[in-house]
């Protein structure tokens, strides 16, 4: 029996945490996924080092083409070690642990499928030993060195997608595999997650996993770049609504909420409803000269809605008070001038030009039974959830059916959902299942302003519509 030695190359990946502002951040765990091989494991602090052993490199015997043992890791070891076993076809297998004096301390027979398996070997006393695997067509041997007293003499096989444990080879790995790393921090009962790093792994290195700055009150925990200069915003956690009885502005509880889901009759009596959420343009409630400045205004004459009573002005001009976001939002910090409405150029940048980690900016979808468009944050990873027809405007909502359980899972990554809340003309509400319209702060001419319009088979980030229409409002807040 001829034994041969090959150079063993192990890769060490160390992890450290940081904040988006550049400071150090602790973390409680790191999720590691080999996207090429399809396995996953988790390092739990203080374990911050991942050791990867390429499966095609090892110390052992190669006879025939049916089986091969790689190098044990760790080796030397105390207690237990792990040895990768590669089978070119399903086979009956005999595993033996043999002491250097020739004594067989463990024998186990089994049938294993084709592929790579992890063989766990335990030795009770120090010394040199060998792991031998034999099949009807050949055999292979790996050398083991135990340096301390451990548990029992044993041998077992675990599947390729089960982690061996701290310091062990977590699964099948080959140089250049696409790896995915994400850290988590649990404190005071709340868990936050870092941005995701996806990279081909060839070398030893330290990977820094960055935790975003905590989102402000009322905001979704996701950052969105809005221009070429790199300015970023947080979106509010729901569409804007106004309570006439209390005179209170607030964000809806859920992103998929809209007028209908509040249990209102939104027919001819819309103007008499207490909670309203489809606003004519510049109806922030501040009396700036135009007749229709109250959020419940239902006039169908465009000249009643001009910002600052002048068709030349945008919502953000003059004092800025024509913008709904100038109001104190009860569940969004309750302080004036914290929020604002995106300009039409910013809406267009988010949908059409923004660079993201995954290359995906948006996708039309149906969340539960509500249609709309999903907007992905800058750091979205395609591995979070598979979306069909990303960045495509002329597709139907049902191409991405998302259950409520799935939505709760992906929403935690900072995803925005704009529901099809329809539109209001006078006191009547239309198209709540098929279209959604969201104001920008940019005027177009004397009777129209820019907006985002989402239809069953279309999406227009720089649409133009009459300012007397009642549209939805989704506010943003600048990231510091």
395-443 pLDDT, tens digit each: 999 999 999 989 988 898 889 999 999 999 998 888 888 999 999 999 9
Whether 89 has a pLDDT exceeding 60, the answer reads yes
- DSSP sequence for 191-203: EEEPPPEEEE--S
Q: What is the pLDDT of residues 204-226, one digit of tens each?
A: 999 999 887 778 899 998 889 99
Q: What is the pLDDT of residues 120-163, one digit of tens each?
A: 888 888 888 888 898 887 788 888 888 777 678 888 886 553 33
Beta bridge partners of 236: 219
Kindly state the average pLDDT of the residues 386-390: 93
Instruction: Judge contact between 210 and 330, C-beta under 8 A.
Output: no
Going by pLDDT thresholds of 50, 70 and 90, the confidence category of residue 281 is very high
Kindly state the average pLDDT of the residues 106-117: 84
Mean pLDDT for all residues in the chain: 85
Fold of 8-52+175-211: Immunoglobulin-like (2.60.40)
User: Which helix (H) or strand (E) segment is 156 a member of?
Assistant: strand 154-158
Q: Look-up: residue for tokens 């139907």?
A: 396
Between these two residues, 57 and 267, which has the higher pLDDT value?
A: 267
Residue 358's nearest CA partner among 343, 376, 345 is: 376
Residue 177's nearest CA partner among 56, 356, 58, 74 is: 56
pLDDT, position 67:
80
Going by pLDDT thresholds of 50, 70 and 90, the confidence category of residue 260 is low
Residue 293's nearest CA partner among 281, 311, 302 is: 281
Angle at 71 between CA 68 and CA 72, to 5 degrees: 120
Whether 166 has a pLDDT exceeding 90, the answer reads no
Query: Residues in the chain, how many?
Result: 480
Going by pLDDT thresholds of 50, 70 and 90, the confidence category of residue 178 is confident
Going by pLDDT thresholds of 50, 70 and 90, the confidence category of residue 263 is low
Kindly state the average pLDDT of the residues 91-115: 85
Q: Look-up: residue for tokens 């297998």?
A: 93
Whether 467 has a pLDDT exceeding 90, the answer reads yes
Supply the pTM of this predicted model: 0.63
Please give the Cα distance from 375 to 356 (Å, whole number): 11
Q: What is the pLDDT of residues 297-348, one digit of tens each?
A: 999 999 999 999 999 999 999 999 999 999 999 999 999 999 999 999 999 9
Whether 265 has a pLDDT exceeding 60, the answer reads no
Sheet (strand 232-235) strand order: 224-225, 232-235, 476-478
Whether 3 has a pLDDT exceeding 50, the answer reads no
Q: Let me know if 365 is exposed, middle or buried by CB neighbors in 10 A (0-12, 13-18, 19+).
A: buried
Q: CATH for 59-158, among 3.40.1710.10, 2.60.40.3670, 2.60.40.2550, 2.60.120.10?
A: 2.60.40.2550
Q: Helix, strand, or coil here: 353?
A: helix
| Residue extent(s) of CATH 2.60.40.2550 domains in the chain | 59-158
């Amino acid at each position: 029996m001829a034994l041969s030695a090959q150079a063993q190359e192990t890769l060490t990946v160390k992890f450290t945490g940081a904040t988006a502002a550049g400071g150090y951040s602790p973390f409680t765990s790191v999720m590691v996924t080999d996207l090429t091989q399809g396995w996953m494991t988790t390092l739990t602090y203080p374990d911050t080092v991942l050791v990867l052993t390429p499966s095609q490199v090892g110390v052992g015997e190669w006879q025939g083409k049916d089986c091969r043992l790689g190098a044990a890791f760790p080796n030397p070891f105390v207690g237990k070690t792990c040895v990768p076993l590669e089978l070119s076809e399903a086979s009956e297998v005999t595993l033996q642990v043999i002491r250097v004096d020739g004594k067989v301390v463990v024998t186990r027979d089994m049938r294993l499928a084709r592929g790579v398996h992890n063989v766990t070997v335990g030795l009770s006393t120090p010394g040199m030993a060998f792991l031998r695997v034999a099949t009807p067509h050949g055999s292979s041997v790996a050398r083991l060195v135990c340096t301390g007293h451990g548990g029992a003499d044993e041998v077992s096989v675990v599947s390729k997608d089960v982690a061996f444990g701290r310091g062990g080879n977590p699964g099948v790995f080959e140089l250049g595999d696409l790896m995915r790393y994400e850290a988590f921090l649990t404190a005071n009962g709340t868990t936050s997650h870092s941005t995701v790093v996806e990279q081909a792994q060839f070398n030893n290195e330290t990977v820094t996993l960055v935790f975003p700055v905590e989102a402000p009150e009322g905001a979704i925990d996701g950052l969105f770049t809005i221009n070429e200069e790199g300015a970023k915003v947080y979106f509010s956690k729901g569409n804007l609504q106004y309570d006439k009885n209390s005179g209170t502005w607030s964000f809806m509880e859920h992103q998929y909420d809209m007028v209908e889901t509040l249990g209102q009759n939104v027919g001819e009596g819309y103007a008499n409803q207490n909670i309203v959420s489809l606003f004519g343009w510049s109806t922030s409630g501040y009396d700036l000269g135009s007749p229709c400045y109250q959020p419940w205004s239902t006039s169908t004459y465009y000249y009643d809605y001009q910002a600052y009573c002048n068709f030349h002005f945008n919502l953000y001009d003059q004092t800025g008070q024509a913008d709904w976001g100038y109001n104190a939002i009860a569940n969004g910090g309750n302080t004036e001038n914290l929020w604002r409405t995106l300009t039409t150029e910013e809406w267009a940048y988010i949908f059409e030009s923004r660079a993201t980690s995954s290359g995906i900016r948006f996708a039309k979808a149906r969340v539960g039974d509500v249609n709309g468009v999903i907007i992905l944050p800058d750091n979205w990873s395609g591995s979070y959830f598979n979306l069909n027809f990303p960045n495509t405007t002329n597709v139907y909502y049902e191409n991405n059916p998302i259950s409520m359980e799935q939505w709760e899972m992906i929403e935690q990554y900072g995803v925005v959902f704009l529901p099809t809340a329809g539109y209001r003309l006078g006191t009547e509400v239309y198209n709540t299942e098929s279209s959604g319209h969201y104001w920008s702060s940019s005027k177009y001419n004397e009777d129209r302003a820019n907006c985002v319009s989402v239809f069953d088979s279309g999406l227009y980030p720089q649409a133009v519509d009459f300012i007397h229409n009642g549209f939805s409002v989704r506010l943003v807040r600048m990231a510091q």
